Structure 1
Amino acid sequence: MTLGYNRLRGSSALALAGLLAACSSAPDSTPAVEVLSAAPLRLALEAEGELKSAKATPLLVPGEQWSRRQLVWMKPDGSRVKAGEVVARFAADQGELELSKALLDLQRNALAKASKQVELETMQGRVDVDLAQVATDLSIATRYADADLEMFARNEILDAIQDQRFLGTKQDVLQWKRGQATERGRAELAVLDSQRASFDLNANRRRADLDALELTAPNDGVLVLSTDWSNEKPKLGASLFAGHEFATLPDPAELEIELVLPQLEAQGIEVGQAVELHPAGRPDELLRTELHWVASAPQQRGGRGNPVKSIAMKAKVPAELARERGWVPGQAFFGRIILREAESALSLPNVAVVAENGRRFVDVLDGESVKRREVKLGVRGPGRSEVIEGVEAGEAVLLVPQAPGDRT
């Protein structure tokens, strides 16, 4: 048994040594190449987008500007609505609180005005009492002052004359004080009336704000919910601000599809290029049209946290075709932008191209040696590019360019 086991182990060792020897043999050094040949060429970019209306009626969140709203009900996105139909309802807890504050300010103003009127009437009453007392004392003093000098002692006459002058001056002061109190009271009441007008205006604004909690459609159309800065559509329970766009009612007579591509992929996009479009999930409903608008500058999409900038482009859609196929604004579409179409052209993979100082090079297999050659490219696609000069049909181009030290 031991001898058999040793023989088996020896056979296994020989087999393993053979495998290792086979693995250690030099690999095939033939590089991967592509032999160029003239063939039909079609370079295209894939993009996603949605059907929109070139003209759309914006539907704004109702209420006073910047007042907060909470969405409590809305019709589904893409619903067909009639003119005057309610499309969304809102709640405004903050608005109710602001109205309560405005009504409280009105009550405080009314109490302040009533208190001021009582204070003014009390002050005027006190001055009137003092004036009446002074008038009585002044009449008595006047009587003594005009009496026969022989009937009274000299000191009594002098006191009467002195009282007459004092009481006359006091009467003038009291009348001035009464006039001042009246003018000041009127001014203070006018300030309170002005405040009340301001509080009334604020309360009426709050009432009007609370009355505007329903959003209605101004005309017939298809409801398309708008997206916010983070590319999110309104959801139930969301907090919105009055005056912001909630949705749109597109005009079905003028439709277009907006496509979006990352900035790095959108090189070479131009107005007039052909584009093939179809709804998401319906490749059989193909539409071939052309781009009529391309954004002049990239924009950030998908929220503040997305650093990728994109280029938007638009292609018109015949309204009759959209009606016939049941396409509606807001529907997702896929597009294929045709960069270059030719019955016969040379092209090569982008991985085979080396860029150096604004020039393009490829490695060409010439017998057993590799030569680097400068080429001139035409339209560049996502995977292949048209080649105009530098190589000819029948030449073999390395798919993986070699390092300078590896070329012979």
Structure 2
Amino acid sequence: MKKLIIISLALLSIACEEQKPTMLYQVQEQSFAIEIPAKGELFAAKATVISSPVSRGGVQNIAWLAPEYSTVKKGDVIARFDGEAMEVESERNQNEAAIIAQDILEKSGSLNKDLYAINKDISVVGQEKAFADQFSIDDIRIRSKLEIIDSMQNTAYLGVKQDYLHWKSDSFNESSMGDMSLLEMKQQQKQSKLAQLSESLEKLEIKAPHDGLLAYKANWRGEKPRAGQSIWPGQKIAELPDINEMKAKLFVIESEAVGLVVDKKVNLQLFAHVDKPFSGRISSVAPFPKSIKRGDPQKYFEIEVSLDEQNTQLFVPGRKLQAHIVVEEAQPKLIVPLQSVFTKDNRSFVYLYNGKDFTQAEVELGKANLSHVEVISGISAGQHISLTDQEQS
């Protein structure tokens, strides 16, 4: 019985010694590629921009929009704006212009009446002075000295009065011209305002400049125009793209944007047609990352991709897609998972399993993708390494 127990304990001890840790990875040479995932949409390389009408009426409200991605013909209405506020303002200005016109008539009549009275006084005084000059008698044999002096004073008075009335006429003409000019200026301002409103009312409808596929333009928050939205004059609201030359716009997470340079190959798939993959090459990379969604702090690099082939039936502006950017083509290399590599004191190492325990093996690393990294030296194929940090185990 004792021998049986001893043999059982010995076998159990041997089994425990031969049992390997479960979190091990066997190093081996595998096909290794560096591909960066991205998402985005198709857009036209060339497009006619459609903007809201430029007017002095300020912000305008969209009343109606044609369906997006609908085919429009030249002259078709794309958007219609609410003109109620401008119509009310136009009516108010018309009423004010009519009041000013009536004021001009009344002022003109009043001025003409006053001017007629002044001219009549000038005529009467002129006749009296002419009569006094013509029949003035200064012979003391006929008239007394007092009468002669009185006659001379009367003639002088009429002369002064005549000069005063001429001055009054000139002053009245100047002041009346100022009053009339002010009213005429107000009338011109109202007429100019009415002309602007009339022009703005004529621009309440935006029509297609040529045939094309209608695609609305998103603002910096990613929002596209909609009925009821307020639009600034001159703001871009839509495009009529040329679908004969399409491109892809991709967004790559900032932390994953490594090795993105022009002419790198890109494999793409439309979400609506995953069975029809296509390819292209990077044509431009944004110099700085940016946020693409309101309230999302995550930033992305924007990339434009020139497509290797065009398909007018399949490629529609705005269609969403996914892509993989091939930074490095697949090649056989010695690779290990990223989680198996640790760093300390500016050196990289793995925990190498020797059959009983683990030892640190310093490694020289090469390129990496999102899950694995190339090992240039330090370990060889067939060896086992730990996937966890043994110092914390």
TM-score normalized by the length of structure 1? 0.82
| Residues 211 and 112 of structure 1: CA distance in aligned 2, closer, same or farther (over 3 Å) | same
When structure 1 is superposed on structure 2, of 292-301 and 164-173 the one drifting more is 292-301
Task: For 1:309, give the aligned amino acid.
Answer: K
Q: Which residue of 1 aligns with 2:351?
A: 364
- Aligned ranges for residues 336-375 of structure 1 at < 5 Å? 336-354=324-342, 359=346, 361-367=348-354, 368-371=357-360, 373-375=362-364
SS of equivalent to 2:282:
strand
The Cα of 1:294 is off from its aligned counterpart by 1.3
* Deviation per residue, 1:2-51 (Å, 9 max, x gap): xxxxxxxxxxxxxxxxxxxxxxxxxx994723222110113322211111
Task: For 1:352, give the aligned amino acid.
Answer: S
SS of equivalent to 2:275:
coil
1: CA distance, partners of 2:154 / 2:29: 131
Q: Which residue of 2 aligns with 1:163?
A: 154
Pick one of 111, 115, 120 that aligns with 1:120.
111
Q: Which residue of 2 aligns with 1:244?
A: 235
The Cα of 1:308 is off from its aligned counterpart by 2.7
The Cα of 1:168 is off from its aligned counterpart by 0.4
2: CA distance, partners of 1:185 / 1:355: 94
* Deviation per residue, 1:107-161 (Å, 9 max, x gap): 3432342343234223312322332342344245435633543332222221221
SS of equivalent to 1:145:
coil
Pick one of 312, 327, 338 that aligns with 2:302.
312
Task: For 1:317, give the aligned amino acid.
Answer: L
Answering whether residue 384 of structure 2 is matched by residue 376 of structure 1, we say no
* Deviation per residue, 1:317-348 (Å, 9 max, x gap): 356x412x432111111111122222301223
Task: For 2:369, give the aligned amino acid.
Answer: G
2: CA distance, partners of 1:87 / 1:360: 63
1: CA distance, partners of 2:375 / 2:99: 84
When structure 1 is superposed on structure 2, of 284-293 and 345-354 the one drifting more is 345-354
- Aligned ranges for residues 2-401 of structure 1 at < 5 Å? 30=21, 32-64=23-55, 67-143=58-134, 145-146=136-137, 148-303=139-294, 305-317=295-307, 321-323=310-312, 325-354=313-342, 359=346, 361-367=348-354, 368-371=357-360, 373-378=362-367, 380-401=368-389
Task: For 2:350, give the aligned amino acid.
Answer: D
1: CA distance, partners of 2:347 / 2:239: 49
Contact 1:68/1:92 (8 A) holds in 2: no
* Aligned-CA RMSD value: 2.6
| Residues 175 and 52 of structure 1: CA distance in aligned 2, closer, same or farther (over 3 Å) | same
SS of equivalent to 2:102:
helix
Contact 2:363/2:375 (8 A) holds in 1: no
Contact 1:68/1:95 (8 A) holds in 2: no
Contact 1:71/1:91 (8 A) holds in 2: yes
* Deviation per residue, 1:201-235 (Å, 9 max, x gap): 22111111011121111111111111122111112
SS of equivalent to 1:302:
coil
The Cα of 1:55 is off from its aligned counterpart by 0.6
Question: Any stretches of 5+ residues in structure 2 without a counterpart?
Answer: 1-18
* Deviation per residue, 1:225-253 (Å, 9 max, x gap): 11122111112222222311111011122
Contact 2:349/2:362 (8 A) holds in 1: yes
SS of equivalent to 2:263:
coil
1: CA distance, partners of 2:347 / 2:73: 60
2: CA distance, partners of 1:196 / 1:34: 90
The Cα of 1:57 is off from its aligned counterpart by 0.4
SS of equivalent to 1:285:
strand
2: CA distance, partners of 1:374 / 1:89: 67
Q: Which residue of 1 aligns with 2:14?
A: none
2: CA distance, partners of 1:196 / 1:351: 81
Question: Any stretches of 5+ residues in structure 1 without a counterpart?
Answer: 1-27
Contact 1:66/1:241 (8 A) holds in 2: no
